[in-house]
Amino acid sequence: MLAKPIIQELQNTVGKDRCLTAPEDLMVYSHDTYSGKKPDVVVLPATAEEVSKILKLANRERIPVTPRGSATGLTGMCVPEHGGIVMAMSKMNKILEVNPEDRLAVVEPGVLTNDLQVAVEAAGVFYPPDPASQTICQIGGNVATNAGGPRCVKYGVTRDYLLGLEAVLPSGEVIKTGGRPIKNVTGYDVTRLLCGSEGTLAVITKIIVKLIAKPEARRTLLVAFRSIEDASTTVSRIMAAGIVPRALELMDQHYIRLCENMYHLGLATEAVGMLIIEVDGFAETVDRQAKIAKEFCEAQGAFDIKLAQTEEESERLWIARKMGSVALFRLSKTMLSEDATVPISKIPVMVAKIKEIEKKYKMTIFLLAHAGDGNMHPLLCYDPANKEEAEKVENITREIFEASIALGGTLTGEHGIGLAKKPFMHLEISPGELELWKNIKKSFDPNSIMNPGKFV
């Protein structure tokens, strides 16, 4: 509970309607898709100046502050583990500039990713990072988590599209990092340090993103295989051949059948593994790229290949991949989406390992992957209150992480550490590196008010 004068000061800063203390409001702002903890108060600032005033107060009074985007995070990153203030960024939602000439856009953090994409594409340019949650997550959340997505296999992740930021330090000082030039090597790269910092260093209040030319055309293939090995081997063969599809996604049989039952898409349910392969570029080149990809699939024993001829058909081929999580969340009390990521050549080994773990624990692991960049999504549907299930999930998760690290991979390719992966960090991060992280944290946030209880 925060003292009344503190609440009063917050109300004076943002107004009563943007300072929430009712139990039902606190409940709404307590969770992401992984876990929850109630804050003492929720504030919804509308300007960097308001953010600055709130942080000054919090720093003075040593009150924890947890920034919050749309709470689509999958690891408990925006959960206020130590209570205090949740700072929801949804009121800072203006697209301030779309500038095709300079190939950049300037946005506030609360803009939904898809809204930015629609706005820039209307101006003939392209912002590639496309987390599957793009219609509901915020660009500020994407920056704070360094979000990826299907198109990142060709175009790179959020970090690769950042030119500059405005951020407010816990002291209340407003800083500007980077800027508008495409090339900029002046000193330390604080822009990229803040990217992926999961709200532990500062509050991001403005973002300058780089835009690129919009690809003229795309071709989408949905390819069915009789074995998951054939599907995953095709992925590494395509990548090794130097073709760079704009998406290369893997789905296993559990996932295919679940989606077919729910959406009746005409998927080949006898398939044990399925790939979505999408290529893009100039209109003259896409058919040739699609043909080469198709040949790789056939050589690896693909038995059903659907090639979209129109934009509508392309979108239809994506439905299972994009909408499956709705079906998964219906299966049990919760769904855990892991995202261990391995080097490209290790994809077939990692896929086989996940299937082996599934057999060992006799628990269904739905498998999706942004396979082209080695980013696995083993998905577990379970009831956390069921002790036996929860224990299995813990063991499965640990074994998946251990396997990934043993193959030269990482704990998380895009979902972040949050609370979920904190217990496993020692598998990947040495004590020396962690000490360095702690010192970085201290220089931004000496009183440890920013999102405390997380990875530093």
Q: How far apart are CA 429 and CA 410, in angstroms?
A: 10
Asked if 74 is part of the footprint of ligand FAD (rule: CB under 6 A), the reply reads: yes
Give the HSE-up count for residue 155: Cα atoms under 13 Å, Cβ half-sphere: 28
Q: Which stretch binds ligand FAD (CB under 6 A): 10-18, 34-42, 137-145, 299-307?
A: 137-145
Q: Which stretch binds ligand FAD (CB under 6 A): 143-151, 295-303, 349-357, 378-386?
A: 143-151
Asked if 83 is part of the footprint of ligand FAD (rule: CB under 6 A), the reply reads: no
What's the distance, CA 202 to chain centroid? Answer: 19
Looking at the Cβ atoms of 203 and 307, the one nearer to ligand FAD is 203
Cβ at position 444, least distance to ligand FAD in Å: 12
Q: Which stretch binds ligand FAD (CB under 6 A): 141-149, 267-275, 278-286, 435-443?
A: 141-149
Cβ at position 61, least distance to ligand FAD in Å: 20
Cβ at position 200, least distance to ligand FAD in Å: 7
Asked if 219 is part of the footprint of ligand FAD (rule: CB under 6 A), the reply reads: no
Q: Which stretch binds ligand FAD (CB under 6 A): 15-23, 64-72, 242-250, 344-352?
A: 64-72
List 39, 45, 64, 69, residue binding ligand FAD (CB under 6 A): 69
Asked if 73 is part of the footprint of ligand FAD (rule: CB under 6 A), the reply reads: yes
Reduced 3-state DSSP string for the chain: CCCHHHHHHHHHHHCHHHEECCHHHHHHCCECCCCECCCCEEECCCCHHHHHHHHHHHHHHCCCEEEECCCCCCCCCCCCCCCCEEEECCCCCCEEEEECCCCEEEECCCCEHHHHHHHHHHCCEECCCCCCCCCCCEHHHHHHHCCCCCCHHHHCCHHHHEEEEEEECCCCCEEEEECCCCCCCCCCCHHHHHCCCCCCCCEEEEEEEECEECCCEEEEEEEEECCHHHHHHHHHHHHHCCCCCCEEEEEEHHHHHHHHHHHCCCCCCCCCEEEEEEEEECHHHHHHHHHHHHHHHHHCCCCEEEECCCHHHHHHHHHHHHHHHHHHHHHCCEEEECECECCHHHHHHHHHHHHHHHHHHCCCCEEEEEHHHCEEEEEEEECCCCHHHHHHHHHHHHHHHHHHHHCCCECECCCCCCCCCHHHHHHCCCHHHHHHHHHHHHHHCCCCCECCCCCC
Binding to ligand FAD (CB under 6 A) within 343-372 occurs at none
Asked if 33 is part of the footprint of ligand FAD (rule: CB under 6 A), the reply reads: yes
Cβ at position 77, least distance to ligand FAD in Å: 3
List 141, 196, 273, 374, residue binding ligand FAD (CB under 6 A): 141
Asked if 215 is part of the footprint of ligand FAD (rule: CB under 6 A), the reply reads: no
Looking at the Cβ atoms of 169 and 231, the one nearer to ligand FAD is 169
List 133, 234, 341, 404, residue binding ligand FAD (CB under 6 A): 133
Looking at the Cβ atoms of 153 and 302, the one nearer to ligand FAD is 153
Provide the mask over 97-126, with x wherever binding to ligand FAD is found by CB under 6 A and - wherever it is not. Answer: ------------x-----------------
Asked if 203 is part of the footprint of ligand FAD (rule: CB under 6 A), the reply reads: yes
Structure tokens at 110: 């609360």
Cβ at position 109, least distance to ligand FAD in Å: 4
Asked if 147 is part of the footprint of ligand FAD (rule: CB under 6 A), the reply reads: yes
Cβ atoms of residues 454 and 436 within 8 Å: no
List 43, 55, 132, 411, residue binding ligand FAD (CB under 6 A): 132
Asked if 204 is part of the footprint of ligand FAD (rule: CB under 6 A), the reply reads: yes
Residues that bind ligand FAD (CB under 6 A): 32-33, 66-74, 77-78, 89, 109, 131-133, 137-138, 140-142, 144-145, 147-149, 198-199, 203-204, 325, 414-415, 451
